[in-house]
Structure 1
Amino acid sequence: MGMPSLSIYANELIRDFGAKTLIRIGSCGGMQDRVKIRDVIIAMTASSLSTPSRGIFRELNFAPCADWSLLQSAVLAAEARGVPTHVGGIYSADVFYDERPDLNEQMIRHGILGVEMEAAELYNLAARYGVRALAVLTVSDHLITNEALPAEDREKSFGDMVEIALEAAFA
């Protein structure tokens, strides 16, 4: 989907339908040795080179973050389920196929847990509109180990992420 498409959908959900809570669930690439395939990442923050909101902030490097109550509820839900979970920063990329190994090295060096393509803009929009947002992600492939879940395993491995997100949404 990517940040531009997410921006359209999230803006419309908030403005036209009154959505107050938005939770992104999906896959991501692991970026730390301790993060394993099938682990869940709950994104506290989301870094990015650019987002559709960049034009608003201009020279400011706004630091979007998750809603604390959603994040806390998701962590408690993951702990109750015994799901291997990591909480921290992620990176929202504009491209699926990586062309910046130098940037990945810096993300890894600075503790970024995983890479995906939407959360930074979701967190920007949530801050702008005063709504709650969270990203709950399942590691489907790994940038360091080059492991990847086959397609059929992806279908069977994402249930914990969905349950965690649902429990957080309705906590």
Structure 2
Amino acid sequence: MKEQTPTIHNAAKYGEIAKTVLMPGDPLRAKYIAEKFLENPRLVSDIRNIYCYTGTYQGKEVSVMASGMGAGSMSIYSYELFHFYDVDAIIRVGSAGGMHPSLKLRDVVVALASSTDNGYARHFNLPGDIAPCADYGLVSGAVDYAKAHGMSVRVGPVVSGEGFYYSDEWMKKWTDMGMLAVEMESAALYMNAMEAGKRAVALCTISDLMFNGAACTPQERQESFDDMILMALSLA
């Protein structure tokens, strides 16, 4: 709703944020994406150092805004974007820990659905359990891009954890249920998108393998991240 902007969390005025928003967790990654990939990026909000930039990519207006870490932060920013700034689609771009033994470092996981151990769903007062899911059109577009560019991509369920440090038993139980990877934000994002009648997808580069301790080098993380950003921008 135009009259509710700016918000206490976002200094942007209505109309200063594009209809499609790329959303990394890290504010510095938001800055990096804007400066490297967008034309004429302008900073429209920096409250709490959560940077939000708007620019153009191949002639189309795109915004990039950090979500911060975890469901609580994601739930606030994505809710405001969908409901107050009339954003149509949010594309999460981040990293994840690979849980499934078939995954390799630098694979990109497209989170088709997101299980969670957090309590955010209680806010919706549903008479049962919800299955937070991505928008099929965005999922399909990401897969098409990956095929066209020779990227290693996996599509499937992830688990969106409430914390960061987990026991081996926690990991095993979710892996046994078919979860590909673990991250922290996608379930809250998907629930907000579903409630608002909007679109969302989470794209996550596998930066660590939970089953053997392997991890990307800083250079590998950056190279893989760039490939994923180009995939996300193709969906804008």
Please, what TM-score do these two structures have when normalized by structure 1?
Answer: 0.93
CA separation in 2, counterparts of 1:39 and 1:81?
A: 13
Number of aligned residues: 168
Gaps of 5+ in 2: 1-68
CA separation in 2, counterparts of 1:160 and 1:90?
A: 20
CA separation in 2, counterparts of 1:126 and 1:88?
A: 18
Gaps of 5+ in 1: none
Task: Write out per-residue CA displacement over residues 112-133 of structure 1, whole angstroms, 9 at most, x where no aligned residue.
Answer: 1100000001000000000000
Which of the pair has more CA radius of gyration? 2
Quote the residue 1:35 is aligned against: 103
Letter in 1 for 2:220: D
Quote the residue 2:200 is aligned against: 133
CA separation in 2, counterparts of 1:107 and 1:20?
A: 31
CA separation in 1, counterparts of 2:109 and 2:144?
A: 13
Aligned pair 1:84/2:148, yes or no? no
CA shift for structure 1 position 155: 2.0
CA separation in 2, counterparts of 1:57 and 1:145?
A: 39
Larger mean Cα displacement after TM superposition, 131-140 or 47-56: 47-56
Higher relative contact order (CA 8 A, sep 6+): 1
Indicate conservation of the 8 Å contact 1:90/1:114, yes or no.
yes
Aligned pair 1:153/2:211, yes or no? no
Indicate conservation of the 8 Å contact 2:113/2:134, yes or no.
yes
CA separation in 2, counterparts of 1:141 and 1:149?
A: 6
Task: Write out per-residue CA displacement over residues 63-104 of structure 1, whole angstroms, 9 at most, x where no aligned residue.
Answer: 010001011001101111111110000000011122x32221
Indicate conservation of the 8 Å contact 1:51/1:121, yes or no.
no
Quote the residue 2:74 is aligned against: 6
Name the SS of the counterpart of 1:91 in structure 2. Answer: strand
Give 4+ residue runs of structure 1 displaced > 3 Å after superposition. none
Name the SS of the counterpart of 1:28 in structure 2. Answer: strand
CA separation in 2, counterparts of 1:131 and 1:51?
A: 21
Aligned pair 1:72/2:140, yes or no? yes
Quote the residue 1:112 is aligned against: 179
